[in-house]
């Protein structure tokens, strides 16, 4: 194998399914010269209803896979994994690791005026209190209202983004939060930006929806700068896709939901 400098190595991005593609999409826009490896652990989806122990077990295998591909940076594009397994990831690699929670917290704090912030996420994310902890260590003067929305991930994975029952389900989960006078709503699961339209309709225009992908891209970009490992190739980078479940299902669904075309998805058994 020819010698490859760290700059030329790919960035590894993972999620349980295609929620992390909402993050990858932004990363490609901001860092077009970088090569990306995406892994969706579709055989174990959803993560949100699993125990922290199980999630850690899956994540360790994904990280070992990324290590075998010599990635230069890892993006944990999954709130559930960031909430319960970020330390585990950091222990296993000696490259920079970017999670999704801190960037979302930063974005919400920048924008809030009322200091009343809503967070929606999977059951494991909400139970872990990772957001509450991150908010209170950044600013004590913030009131957080959390709500787990376990039906959102299956709706997104099935591509049911704008059905009548999608509206009813979103209303069912967000009704309580609507009464809390929040001015920011953190989309604390990378699948949720795909439901933005319905969430916006239900929660109203006064509440800002915080999608962490912009802040994550900034953080990845600055980590690459700091370590001096930016890819400076002339051409746009590649994106390679791997899943643990069915590749054709992932490919079809993702191509329907996202603008970029995924030509090939490979299955890896971890």
Residue 126 beta carbon to ligand DGL: minimum distance, rounded to whole angstroms: 10
Residue with Cβ nearer ligand DGL (79 or 244): 79
Residue 83 beta carbon to ligand DGL: minimum distance, rounded to whole angstroms: 8
Catalytic one among 31, 189, 195, 207? 189
Residue 17 beta carbon to ligand DGL: minimum distance, rounded to whole angstroms: 6
Name the H helices within the chain.
Answer: 21-30, 52-68, 79-92, 101-111, 123-128, 130-138, 152-157, 164-178, 196-203, 213-227, 247-257
Three-state DSSP class for 115?
coil
Residue 263: how many CB atoms within 10 A of its CB?
8
**Is 78 tagged catalytic?**
yes
Using Cβ positions, the residue closest to ligand DGL within the complex turns out to be 48
Residue 155: how many CB atoms within 10 A of its CB?
21
Residue 91 beta carbon to ligand DGL: minimum distance, rounded to whole angstroms: 21
Residue with Cβ nearer ligand DGL (10 or 188): 188
Catalytic one among 27, 37, 76, 78? 78
Beta partners for 190? none
Residue with Cβ nearer ligand DGL (10 or 17): 17
| Whole-Å CA distances, 84 to 87, 161, 169 | 8, 28, 26
Residue with Cβ nearer ligand DGL (152 or 229): 152
Q: Which residue ranges make up the site for ligand DGL (CB under 6 A)?
A: 15-17, 19, 45-48, 78-80, 122, 125, 153, 189-191
The span from the CA of 151 to the CA of 81, in Å, is 18
Catalytic residues: 78, 189
């Amino acid at each position: 194998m020819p010698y490859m400098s760290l700059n030329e190595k790919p960035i590894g991005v993972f999620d349980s399914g295609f929620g992390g593609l909402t993050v990858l999409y932004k990363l490609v826009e901001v860092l077009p010269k970088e090569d990306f490896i995406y892994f969706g652990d579709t055989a174990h989806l959803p993560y949100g209803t699993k125990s922290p122990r199980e999630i850690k077990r899956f994540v360790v295998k994904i990280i070992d896979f990324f290590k075998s591909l010599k990635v230069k940076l890892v993006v944990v594009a999954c709130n559930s994994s960031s909430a319960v397994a970020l330390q585990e990831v950091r222990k296993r690699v000696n490259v920079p690791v970017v999670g999704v929670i801190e960037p979302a917290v930063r974005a919400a704090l920048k924008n809030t005026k009322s200091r009343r912030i809503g967070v929606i996420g999977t059951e494991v994310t909400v139970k872990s209190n990772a957001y509450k902890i991150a908010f209170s260590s950044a600013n004590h003067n913030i009131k957080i209202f959390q709500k787990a929305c376990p039906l959102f991930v299956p709706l997104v994975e099935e591509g049911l983004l704008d059905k009548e029952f999608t509206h009813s389900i979103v209303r069912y989960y967000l009704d309580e939060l609507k009464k809390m006078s929040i001015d920011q709503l953190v989309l604390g699961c990378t699948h949720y930006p795909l439901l933005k339209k319905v969430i916006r309709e239900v929660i109203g225009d006064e509440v800002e929806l915080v999608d962490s992908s912009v802040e994550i891209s900034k953080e990845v970009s600055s980590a690459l700068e700091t370590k001096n490992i930016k890819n400076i190739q002339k051409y746009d980078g590649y994106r390679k896709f791997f899943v643990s479940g069915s590749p054709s299902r992932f490919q079809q669904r993702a191509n329907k939901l996202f603008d970029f075309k995924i030509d090939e998805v490979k299955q890896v058994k971890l």
